[in-house]
Structure 1
Amino acid sequence: MSYFKRGVIFITFFVACISVALLVASLGTKHWVEARAKRVKNPIESDGKIHFGLFNGKKDLNVAYGWRSYDIDVTYLVRYEPEFLMYGVWIGTVIAVCAGLFFSGLSAVFAAVNTATTTSRCLTSVSGLYFWNLSAVVCDVIAICLWTAQFYLNIQYSVLSREDKDNEWTSENMAELGYSFWFVAGAAVASFINIIIIFIANTEKEVDTVIPVLEEKTNGAIMLY
């Protein structure tokens, strides 16, 4: 493997690490959803700020008597208040993000391996990097699609618990996708960029194989003269 190709493959290691970091951040941060809330009784005096991730979050509510903060346990609400989030879509999103993290991690590992040495095994070779990065892109896109469906089918209408709704709070049409969600989109873009970089690296290999053949034909013609 040429120095150019090793250098290009080494770049994919850093890009894969960026993808891993973005996916870890998406799982660890609490801003997949950001929303405001109002009380139906006194919408002018009341105000609420809500944000949560895949596992937990926080809400700040003001009933005109000052702000009060509460923790949100997403896993509890999904289990005991199924109207809060659709369970199948939520668990599918979690699995897809974790799978994307797994494949991005393998992409980084095998990029480092191919930078240090040459291997001919299918899934550990340079060509195998296509598979790991493509798998990461697919998982990330699945997560994006699932959470987008969750948002338009459920979240945009309410991000409140039963207790809050019983107290006449509403968040209808006041929610938006937070930056934790966009981390996954960034990870998908990073993995796709890696596919392009790997294609460039493999293109360089084809050039290397053509040059010796041309030189051999030239040398043969000289010998005839």
Structure 2
Amino acid sequence: MHMFRRGMIFATFFGSCIAIALLVASLGTKHWVNAHAKRTLNPHESNGRINYGLFSGKKDLNVAYGWRSYDIDIIHMLKYEPDFLIYGFWLGTVTCVCGALLFSDLAAVFAAINAATSNSCFSGTPGLYLWNILSFFCNLGAIALWVAQYYMKIQYNVLSLEDLDNSWTSLNMAELGYSFWFVVGATVAHFINIIIIYIANSDKKIDPIIPMIEEKTNGAIMLY
């Protein structure tokens, strides 16, 4: 049973590593949003593809004369075009993902420690619950904030003011990209970790309690 528990706890190390990889990928990739665009003046001849992450992205626009690519600087857009995204939701999303990454790192480190040594306050069962639950809720926060961002801003527009002035529109042509779903995957990984920790600690072997009379009887026998 002791080896079973250690093995289960060590399994959460791999779960945390998966979560770390997914969160790093979500920060490094540029597909939190994927969208198409059309020009209202010539919708059948124009086409646009837009994708961006939390910090940068790319847009390809075709006005019927060929494709042209442009880089998107999200921080610049937030500064000079405040209606592009809700700044508080964007900042909250970035903060939650970074917090989830930090707690995932701690969960991985202390899972390895707990599998190799005896329990302590922050590397034992309470600590493993703490780091995984904190990361789980940080991930949930990032998901909730970006979904709110989508329904309040992204689904209506992902284009700059310059593009809007040139009669481009992305209304109802945007969707959540795979970078966002990486965070969902990290959330699932930590939820599974929490379940594993619970299972690993739910079947602890309980030492039998010897009644006091039986202990005295056994003691008397030993004297004889």
- TM value normalised by structure 1: 0.92
Determine the structure 2 residue equivalent to 1:72. 72
**1:61 to partner: Cα distance:** 0.4
Q: How many residues align?
A: 218
Distance of 1:160 and 1:127 partners within structure 2: 47
Offset, 1:175: 0.3
Aligned counterpart, 1:152: 151
Cα distance in 1, alignment partners of residues 105 and 188 from structure 2: 15
Partner of 1:41: 41
> Equivalent residues in 2 for 1:166-205 (5 A)?
166-205=165-204
Q: Which residue of 2 aligns with 1:20?
A: 20
Question: What is the aligned partner in structure 2 of residue 128 from structure 1?
Answer: 127
* Corresponding residue of 1:4: 4
CA distance in structure 2 between the partners assigned to 1:36 and 1:106 by the alignment = 39
Specify the code of the residue in structure 1 equivalent to 2:123. Answer: T
Supply the AA of the counterpart residue of 2:187: A
Partner of 2:31: 31
Amino acid at match of 1:78: L
3-state SS, counterpart of residue 36 of structure 1: strand
Match of 2:208? 213
Q: C-alpha deviations, 1:114-160, integer Å up to 9, x for none? A: 1111132x222122100110001110001000000000000100000
Q: Deviations over 1:175-225 (max 9, x none)?
A: 0000100110110110010000000111122xx12xx306x46xx499599
Distance 2:5 2:79 in 1: 50
Q: Assess if the C-alpha contact under 8 Å between 1:111 and 1:126 holds in 2.
A: no
SS at match of 2:203: helix
Provide structure 1 residue ranges, at least 5 long, that are not aligned to the other structure. Answer: none
* 3-state secondary structure, aligned to 2:59: strand
1:79·1:87 contact (CA, 8 Å) conserved in 2?
Answer: no
Percent of aligned pairs with the same amino acid: 62
C-alpha distance in 1, partners of 2:81/2:92?
18
Structure 1 Cα separation of the partners of residues 59 and 194 of structure 2: 40
TM-score with structure 2 length normalisation? 0.93
Hey, which bits of structure 1, 4+ residues long, moved more than 3 A?
220-225
SS of equivalent to 1:172: coil
Q: Which amino acid aligns with 1:68?
A: R
Pair member with larger Rg = 2
- Note the aligned Cα RMSD (angstroms): 1.8
